[in-house]
Amino acid sequence: MANFETVEVSTDLLIVGGGFGTCGAATEAAYWAKKNGLKVAMVDKAALDRSGAVAMGLSAINQYVGVRDGENTVEDYVRYVRQDLMGISREDLVYNIARHVDSTVHLFEKWGLKIWTDEEGKYVHEGRWQLMINGESYKIIIAEAAKNALADAGGEIYERVFITDPLVENNRIVGAVGFSTREEKFYVFKAKAVIAGMGGAVHVFRPRSVGEGLGRSWYPPFNSGSSAYFTLKAGAEMTCQEVRFIPVRFKDGYGPVGAWFLLFKSRAISAEGGEYMAVRKDELQNWAPYGLAKPIPANLRNYLGMLDMDAGLGPLYMETNEAIGKLADQYKDDPKAFKKKMKELEAEAWEDFLDMTISQAILWASQNVKPEEKHSEIAACEPYFIGSHSGASGAWVSGPEDLDTPYKWGYANMTTIDGLFAVGDASGASSHKFSSGSHAEGRIAGKSAIKYIVEKGAEPAVDTGKVEELKAKILAPLDLWAAHCNETTDPEVNTNYILPRQFMFRLQKIMDEYAGGVTSAFKTSKSLLERAMELFVFLKEDAEKLAARDLYELERCWENIQRMWQGEAHVRTILFREETRWPGYYFRADTPKMDEENWHCFANCKWDPATGEWEMMKRDVWNIPGV
C-alpha cells in the first residue's frame, strides 16, 4: 500500500470546508467554544483566502432583507422562496436564515467589505433582495474574520487537506478522514461534532465547455459533490436531490445576468427579436399558481427561453446596448452629463464581470464586444448542484428550536445523524441563501453544534480497524497505478485501470444523454433514467478501478467518485418524482405536467451504510401559518 504517514487530530468540533457557510460557522463556533473551553478545527481542500464558489469574488450580496429600514419582512422572504421553488421549500429554515442574514451583512461591512451606497448613505440595491458590492476580495475578507476568530479561541486550520469519508458509529458522527493534497499524509480527524460545508457540485453533467474550454463553467470546478457524498455516506437523509440549478449566463464566459436584468433593467430576446418573457407569457398559465405570481420563478424564466431555442429561434441575446441607452437617455439634452453617464454605465458593466467572472470580461475583450453598442449572447448553462442558490439539493436538517416546525429532531441544522450538521450547499430545501445567507446559516449551525457538544458531546469512539480499511481504499488508486503502469505505452489506455479524467467523461456522458443535460435539451423520461441506472452499475464497477499517477490525480479520483454519488442520488430522485415541477431545470417528457395533488411534497432519499440500499420517501411541505 502507498506509504502515507497517518496524522491524527483530536478536536471537539470539526468544521469541514472553508467556504461561506463554514466561515460563518467558524466565526460563531469559535466564540462559544472559547466560553466553554472547547477546541475547534477547520479543514479545507484549498487555501481559505480563495477557496469555494467565491474564490474569484462576487459583485452582489444576493440576500439582504433590510428589516431595519422597513424595506421587507422576514415573512416576505419566505413567500419569495416558496414562490421561486414552485412551492417546495423548508420554510422554517428559510425563516431562520432570513431573520439572521441582515446582521451577517452588517458584519461583512464592519469587516471591510465595500457595499455600494447612494448619496443618502443607503445601500444600493441591484434588485429587491440584492445589494451591489465591490466584491473582488469578498472571500479574503470573510476568511480573515474566520481565521481571527479561530486564532482567538486557540482553534486550528488545516488547508489543502481533502476530506473524503465521514466516521460514524451507531448513527453518531465521530470524525472524518482525508488526505493532504501536497504531502503523503493521511488525516484522521476525531471529533464530537462535525459541520459539513463542502459546497455543491459541477462537472457531474457534461459541460458546454469541452476540449480547450474544459474546466470553464459557471460553478467553480473545485467543488465536486463532497458535501453530498459525505452526508450520504454517513447515512443521512437527503432532500431535493432532483432540484438541480441551471443559470442563464452570458454564453461561454458564464458572466452573471442578475445585474443586467435587475439593475440595468435589460430585456432578453431571441434572434428574431421577440422578448421570450412577453411572447411566451401564456405558457405560464400551465404552471399556475407559481407561473402567475411575481417574480416568475427562475426555472420558468429559463423555460421560456428554452422554448425559443427548441423552436429554432436561437441564439438568445441580452439587449445590453438598449438597456444602457435607456438609462443614459435622461441625460441626452446635456452632452457632457450624457457622456459621463455612459462612461459610468460602461464601467459598471465591466466591473460586474471583473468582480466575479473575469473570464467573461476576457471573452468580451477578445470578441471586441462593446456592451453599449451591441447585444451579447446568453444561454442556459449545464446543470449544477447548489442548494444555496436557486437549486435546493442537500441534507435534510433539523429546524430552529424556537419555531413550531414539524421538522425537529435535534439541534438546529443537525442532519439525521447525531452530531453531524450541514450548512450552505450541504443543507437542502432552503434555497436563496446565497453567500450572505450561507454565512448566516453557518453561524446558526456553529452555535448549535457547540450547544450539542456541551449538552451531549461524548468522546469519539473511532474504530481503528475501519480507519485502516478506509486508508487502504482511499489510497488504492495509487497502488493500482504502480501495479500496472508499465503494461501499456499510452498511460490513458490500460485494461487494468481507468484514469480519473476518462472516468469523469463516462459519468458526464450518462448524465448528459440520459438525465437531461445540455445535449438532450434538459429533457429526460422514466425510460431514459432507468437506462441511466443500468449504466451506473458499470460505472460503479469502473470506479473500483480508478488509478492515480500522483497526489493530484488521487484528489481527482475522489472528486469523481463524489460526483458519481451526487449523480446517482439525482437520477434516483428524478425517477421517484413522477411529474415535471421545475421545467427550465429539467423536463420529464413522460410526466410533462405538475401534479400538485400527489407531488406537492419533498422527495427525500437515504443510503443505508449497513446494507448499501437506497430508500426513497415523501415528506410533507409545511407552510408557516399566516405567511
Residues in contact with ligand SFD by the rule CB under 6 A: 16-22, 43-46, 51-54, 58-62, 162-163, 197-199, 218-220, 223, 226, 256, 258, 356, 388-389, 424-425, 434-436, 438
Nearest approach, Cβ of residue 256 and ligand SFD (Å): 4
With respect to ligand AMP, which residue has the nearer C-beta, 71 or 169? Answer: 71
DSSP 574: H
59 binds ligand AMP (CB under 6 A): no
With respect to ligand AMP, which residue has the nearer C-beta, 61 or 141? Answer: 61
With respect to ligand SFD, which residue has the nearer C-beta, 23 or 528? Answer: 23
E strand or H helix that includes residue 422 = strand 420-422
Nearest approach, Cβ of residue 77 and ligand AMP (Å): 11
With respect to ligand SFD, which residue has the nearer C-beta, 245 or 317? Answer: 245
Q: Annotated catalytic, 600?
A: no
Q: Is 573 exposed, middle or buried (0-12, 13-18, 19+ CB in 10 A)?
A: buried
Residues in the chain: 627
> Considering only residues 62, 96, 209, 562, which one is a binding residue for ligand AMP as defined by CB under 6 A?
62
With respect to ligand SFD, which residue has the nearer C-beta, 250 or 599? Answer: 250
Given a contact cutoff of 8 angstroms between Cβ atoms, the answer to whether 335 and 319 are in contact is no
Contacted by 262, from ligand AMP, ligand SFD, none: CB < 5 to 8 Å by type: ligand AMP
Nearest approach, Cβ of residue 127 and ligand AMP (Å): 5
Given a contact cutoff of 8 angstroms between Cβ atoms, the answer to whether 89 and 619 are in contact is no
Nearest approach, Cβ of residue 280 and ligand AMP (Å): 14
Write the DSSP string, 158-184.
Answer: EESEEEEEEEEETTEEEEEEEEESSSS
CA distance 522 to 246: 10
CA distance 308 to 56: 32
Reported as half-sphere exposure (CB side, CA atoms, 13 A), residue 618 has a value of 11
Contacted by 301, from ligand AMP, ligand SFD, none: CB < 5 to 8 Å by type: ligand AMP
Q: Annotated catalytic, 352?
A: yes
> Considering only residues 301, 433, 447, 471, which one is a binding residue for ligand AMP as defined by CB under 6 A?
301
CA distance 147 to 165: 25
> Considering only residues 101, 146, 262, 571, which one is a binding residue for ligand AMP as defined by CB under 6 A?
262
Q: Tell me phi and psi for residue 308, to 5 degrees.
A: -65, -45
CA distance 274 to 297: 20
Q: Segment near ligand AMP (CB under 6 A), from 68-76, 254-262, 448-456, 489-497?
A: 254-262
376 binds ligand AMP (CB under 6 A): no
Q: Among the options 100, 389, 556, 577, which is catalytic?
A: 389
Q: Annotated catalytic, 389?
A: yes
Task: Return the residue nearest ligand SFD (CB atom).
Answer: 19
Q: Among the options 51, 59, 62, 520, which is catalytic?
A: 62
Given a contact cutoff of 8 angstroms between Cβ atoms, the answer to whether 181 and 187 are in contact is no
Which is nearest to 136 in space by CA: 160, 105, 112, 103? 112
Which is nearest to 17 in space by CA: 39, 48, 56? 48
SS3 of 314-374: the string is: CCEEECHHHHHHHHHHCCCCCHHHHHHHHHHHHHHHHHHHHCCCHHHHHHHHHCCCCCCCC
256 binds ligand AMP (CB under 6 A): yes
Q: Annotated catalytic, 435?
A: yes
Q: Among the options 218, 364, 481, 582, which is catalytic?
A: 218
Nearest approach, Cβ of residue 82 and ligand AMP (Å): 14
Nearest approach, Cβ of residue 259 and ligand SFD (Å): 8
Contacted by 218, from ligand SFD, ligand AMP, none: CB < 5 to 8 Å by type: ligand SFD
Question: What pairs with residue 379 in β-bridges?
Answer: 249
Q: Segment near ligand AMP (CB under 6 A), from 10-18, 170-178, 295-303, 520-528?
A: 295-303
Q: Among the options 51, 223, 224, 435, which is catalytic?
A: 435
Q: Tell me phi and psi for residue 603, to 5 degrees.
A: -105, 110
Q: Annotated catalytic, 126?
A: yes
With respect to ligand SFD, which residue has the nearer C-beta, 431 or 520? Answer: 431
Q: Segment near ligand AMP (CB under 6 A), from 94-102, 251-259, 418-426, 517-525?
A: 251-259
Q: Among the options 352, 512, 553, 555, which is catalytic?
A: 352
Q: At what angle do helices 335-354 and 320-329 cross, to 10 degrees?
A: 140
> Considering only residues 77, 229, 245, 261, which one is a binding residue for ligand AMP as defined by CB under 6 A?
261
User: Given the DSSP bridges, would you call strands 156-159 and 40-44 parallel, antiparallel or unpaired?
Assistant: parallel
Reported as half-sphere exposure (CB side, CA atoms, 13 A), residue 471 has a value of 21
Task: Return the residue nearest ligand AMP (CB atom).
Answer: 258
Q: Annotated catalytic, 588?
A: no
Q: Among the options 208, 249, 375, 577, which is catalytic?
A: 249
Given a contact cutoff of 8 angstroms between Cβ atoms, the answer to whether 615 and 608 are in contact is yes
Residues marked active site are found at 62, 126, 218, 249, 352, 389, 435
Site for ligand AMP, rule CB under 6 A: 62, 127, 130, 247, 256-258, 261-262, 295, 298, 301, 390
